């Protein structure tokens, strides 16, 4: 963890959750959980989308909502990913679930992983 300080104007937690779970949300990438290499595909797709949409700040830093059922109570955490790869798989190994939300340091881009029925979605959202 880098720090718990959240910049002014940062997206609210519920705003981010609705941007991933709303009825009209369309995934940027969909990966079938039935594929034998689904976890590796999710890792690659999340990394590609996060990089393409400039999620990462200096030294591989970004904000994450604690990937837990009570994460909304913890709030945004400013982190540095010192490993730099396979974040969805690492989160799944630690929590049993691959779902998580990340936001860029400026609060403008969210790149999230969501599970929907028999698919895993990568959702990219831009906040105004």
Structure confidence by residue, pLDDT tens digits, 108-122 = 999 999 998 899 999
Measured CA to CA, the distance from residue 98 to residue 52 in angstroms comes to: 21
Structure confidence by residue, pLDDT tens digits, 7-46 = 667 788 888 888 888 888 999 999 999 999 999 999 999 9
Q: Mind giving me the DSSP string for 100-116?
A: EEEE-TTS-EEEEEEEE
Please compute the mean of the pLDDT values over residues 119-126 and round it to a whole number.
96
Q: Nearest CA to 103 among 2, 1, 25, 12?
A: 12
Assess contact for 113 and 99: CB atoms under 8 A: yes
Measured CA to CA, the distance from residue 110 to residue 46 in angstroms comes to: 11
Assess contact for 46 and 111: CB atoms under 8 A: yes
Q: Which helix (H) or strand (E) holds 119?
A: strand 119-126
């Amino acid at each position: 963890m880098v720090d718990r300080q959240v910049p002014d104007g940062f997206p609210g937690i519920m705003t981010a959750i609705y941007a991933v779970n709303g009825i009209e949300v369309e995934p940027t990438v969909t990966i079938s959980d039935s594929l034998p290499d689904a976890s590796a595909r999710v890792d690659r797709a999340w990394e590609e989308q996060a990089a393409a949409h400039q999620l990462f700040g200096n030294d591989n830093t970004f904000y994450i909502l604690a990937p837990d059922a009570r994460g909304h109570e913890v709030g945004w955490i400013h982190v540095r990913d010192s490993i730099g790869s396979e974040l969805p798989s690492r989160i799944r190994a630690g929590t049993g679930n691959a779902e998580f939300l990340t936001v860029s340091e400026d609060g403008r881009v969210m790149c999230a992983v969501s599970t929907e029925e028999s698919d895993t979605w990568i959702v990219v959202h831009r906040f105004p």
